[in-house]
Amino acid sequence: DAKTTQPPSMDCAEGRAANLPCNHSTISGNEYVYWYRQIHSQGPQYIIHGLKNNETNEMASLIITEDRKSSTLILPHATLRDTAVYYCIVRVATNAGNMLTFGGGTRLMVKP
């Protein structure tokens, strides 16, 4: 699976949008971009995934560049409960045995 690069940490003001970038310049055509987050002492939580098109759900929006070499996770109105480590992962989705490989992630701190 392609490697991802994320900033180690970011701060965001409560109520503002949090934009978390991820570089995946070696992504291949059949790899999806997944985002998970891990709140302290909990298991990772699925947020969103996408292939080419931008995606939106009740938690976040995922913006993927046209060349697919980078993406941005957007939390439109960050709250204190969004403080967590956010992981960007690329993976071929059609192989059920293909596990998720976690990098360092971005530690997002939402401040009042």
Partner 1 sequence: GAVVSQHPSWVICKSGTSVKIECRSLDFQATTMFWYRQFPKQSLMLMATSNEGSKATYEQGVEKDKFLINHASLTLSTLTVTSAHPEDSSFYICSARSGTGVNEQFFGPGTRLTVL
> Residues in the site for partner 1, rule: CB under 8 A?
32, 34, 36, 38, 41-46, 49, 51, 87, 93-97, 99-105
- What end-to-end distance do the CA atoms of the chain give, in Å? 37
Q: Which is nearer to partner 1, 9 or 26 (CB)?
A: 9
Token pair for 48: 């969103």
Burial class (CB in 10 A: 0-12, 13-18, 19+), 105: buried
Nearer Cβ to partner 1 (12/87): 87
The smaller minimum CB distance to partner 1, of residues 1 and 14, is found at 1
Closest approach of Cβ 101 to partner 1, in Å?
7
**Min CB(91)–partner 1 separation in Å:** 9
The position carrying tokens 């939580």 is 45
* The pair of three-digit structure tokens given for residue 99, joined into one six-digit string: 């596990």
